[in-house]
Amino acid sequence: MKCDICGKKIELTFLNKPIGSYMRNSKGKKKIVCSDCQRTHSKEELKTKL
Ligand SMILES: [Zn+2]
C-alpha cells in the first residue's frame, strides 16, 4: 500500500492497520495518506492533491 500523495510505502501495524489514514477526495474516492503527509499538509490541501 502506498501513500496517494507522496507515493511512499505505508507500513502496516501488527494488527494489519495501515500507519496513515483514509480520506475521501472531492469525488468521494477513498485514498490513503501517510502520517508524514498528514503532518505537512492541511486537510484542505490534501483534498486538492488527492
Ligand atoms: Zn505521503
Label residue 32 by pLDDT band (50, 70, 90): very high
Q: Please give the tally of structural domains in the chain.
A: 1
- CA of 29 from ligand 1 middle (Å) equals 17
Half-sphere exposure of 40 (CA within 13 A, CB side): 8
CA angle 18, 43, 49 (to 5 degrees): 85
- CA of 40 from ligand 1 middle (Å) equals 9
Q: Which domain holds residue 17?
A: 1-50
DSSP state of 2: B
Mean pLDDT of 27-47: 93
pTM over 0.85: no
- CA of 4 from ligand 1 middle (Å) equals 7
Label residue 47 by pLDDT band (50, 70, 90): confident
Instruction: Name, in order, each residue with C-beta under 8 angstroms of 7's C-beta and a sequence gap of 6 or more.
Output: none
- CA of 31 from ligand 1 middle (Å) equals 11
